[in-house]
Chain A
């Protein structure tokens, strides 16, 4: 007979019982609906122990890797420790190595990890950055291609933003911070090598996309990748020259910056969804990555889906803004 450990309490399970049944029998509230492994309302995360394949099969690969599973159809035969989704991130200390202005409002920060977190951090995922006083914000990992002990983050200075103004306005080199994570499904995988990929982002939504592109190029991507970066005006874009250079050097990368108001620059003046439909008239076999402002992410996901991209091939990271 096994036990289910949840929030430091060990619950005895009856033989053949699902994890959901065990927890509910002991009065733990877990959202649930279909109780058949379909609706995913009950989703939890396993932090220790084995999850039978049945209980994670319906989930996306990124979720499975992070230990997510469906307790209503999980019938373990050994002890298992579980948490509510997102509670299972591990922490490591880090130090800020450098800070570089990329545009008037965006700064590139490089951190060195001083220990590793439990799960390998992959370019395109995001981490929680915690300052010494506990202030915490999430940022995407823009590089390097294999971020083993260094992380590149792109920070936009938000008016009144406590974390962003700390990072953007001060010489924070040498400052000690803590990293928690990683999380997020926007990563490149070797099995994508022969799949066409389209990546769309606005603002610092570019950060995870650059991470994915770097990982793809380093990993030997063979099929075409199109990277679209949108902004209201040219001032809202960044890394334009660097990305033109990268796409010039790479046989597989096309880079299209676009703005709503070109203000006389050479940058293509069109909304990003139009540029997408033009660059990818048939996205049905494409992998699609969309990052940035949540409303725009939802719009672009739907645009790609209605254009024929498969729902399981669309990955996103909506940037939900914290209160400053």
Chain B
């Protein structure tokens, strides 16, 4: 039986390695930095680890409704979502993750786009 994507990426260690690079990318991108700017950094890092765990296909209990609720009232657009995805891809590239696995992560992240942007069917 093949390992899950999360296991192939390296599990928690991969999340720990990626989170700083990912979060620096986010803070350096004017399209999205302001969403993350005002919050306590330690709290943000924990949230970004949660996000990366989801994107890496790791264990979590979030469903579409949770994601929609968490991102409601932020007026998020496809551009915002794309910017975060770019930050994620950039971090994985910097860590020399094979392109195949990067594509898998992008696919998992993509699957959350409707929920995050509040486009779930009622």
Interface residue ranges, A against B (CB under 8 Å): 33-36, 38-40, 58, 298, 301-302, 305-306, 310-312, 314, 316
Question: For A314, what are the chain B residues with a Cβ–Cβ distance below 8 Å?
Answer: 41
- Given A34-B61, A34-B62, A298-B41, residue A40 in contact with residue B46 (CB < 8 A): yes
Q: CB < 8 Å: which of A33, A39, A310 contacts B20?
A: A310
CB distance from B67 to the nearest CB of A (A): 11
- Given A301-B41, A306-B27, residue A38 in contact with residue B66 (CB < 8 A): no
B5: interface (CB < 8 Å): no
Whether the pair A33, B66 counts as a contact (CB closer than 8 A) is yes
- A250 CA to B59 CA, complexed, in Å: 49
Interface residue ranges, B against A (CB under 8 Å): 12, 16, 19-20, 23-24, 27-28, 40-42, 45-47, 49-50, 53, 58-62, 66
Question: For B46, what are the chain A residues with a Cβ–Cβ distance below 8 Å?
Answer: 38-40
Whether the pair B19, A34 counts as a contact (CB closer than 8 A) is no
Question: For A316, what are the chain B residues with a Cβ–Cβ distance below 8 Å?
Answer: 42
- A275 CA to B55 CA, complexed, in Å: 38
CB distance from B68 to the nearest CB of A (A): 14
Q: Which 3 pairs across A and B sit closest by C-beta, in order of nearness?
A: A35-B61, A39-B50, A38-B50
Question: For A312, what are the chain B residues with a Cβ–Cβ distance below 8 Å?
Answer: 16
Whether the pair A39, B47 counts as a contact (CB closer than 8 A) is yes
- A35 CA to B59 CA, complexed, in Å: 9
Question: For A305, what are the chain B residues with a Cβ–Cβ distance below 8 Å?
Answer: 20, 23-24, 27, 41
- A40 CA to B27 CA, complexed, in Å: 22
A to B CB contacts below 8 Å, 24 in the list: A33-B50, A33-B62, A33-B66, A35-B60, A36-B58, A36-B59, A38-B50, A38-B53, A38-B58, A39-B50, A40-B46, A58-B12, A58-B49, A305-B20, A305-B23, A306-B24, A306-B28, A311-B19, A311-B20, A311-B23, A311-B41, A311-B45, A312-B16, A316-B42
CB distance from B62 to the nearest CB of A (A): 6
Closest to A315 in B: B42
Closest to B28 in A: A306
20 more contacts with CB within 8 A, not counting A34-B60, A38-B50, are A33-B50, A34-B50, A34-B53, A35-B61, A36-B53, A36-B58, A38-B58, A38-B60, A39-B47, A39-B50, A40-B46, A58-B49, A305-B23, A306-B24, A306-B27, A311-B19, A311-B20, A311-B45, A314-B41, A316-B42
Question: For A301, what are the chain B residues with a Cβ–Cβ distance below 8 Å?
Answer: 41
- A306 CA to B61 CA, complexed, in Å: 31
Question: For A33, what are the chain B residues with a Cβ–Cβ distance below 8 Å?
Answer: 50, 61-62, 66
Closest to B45 in A: A311
Closest to B40 in A: A298
Question: For A298, what are the chain B residues with a Cβ–Cβ distance below 8 Å?
Answer: 40-41
Whether the pair A302, B27 counts as a contact (CB closer than 8 A) is yes
Question: For B66, what are the chain A residues with a Cβ–Cβ distance below 8 Å?
Answer: 33
CB distance from B47 to the nearest CB of A (A): 7
Q: CB < 8 Å: which of B24, B42, B49 contacts A38?
A: B49
Question: For B58, what are the chain A residues with a Cβ–Cβ distance below 8 Å?
Answer: 36, 38
A35, A311, A314: most-surrounded residue (chain B CB, <10 A): A311
- A302 CA to B42 CA, complexed, in Å: 11
Question: For B40, what are the chain A residues with a Cβ–Cβ distance below 8 Å?
Answer: 298
A34, A40, A316: most-surrounded residue (chain B CB, <10 A): A34
Question: For B41, what are the chain A residues with a Cβ–Cβ distance below 8 Å?
Answer: 298, 301-302, 305, 311, 314
- A305 CA to B21 CA, complexed, in Å: 10
- A305 CA to B19 CA, complexed, in Å: 12
CB distance from B45 to the nearest CB of A (A): 5
Whether the pair B60, A36 counts as a contact (CB closer than 8 A) is yes
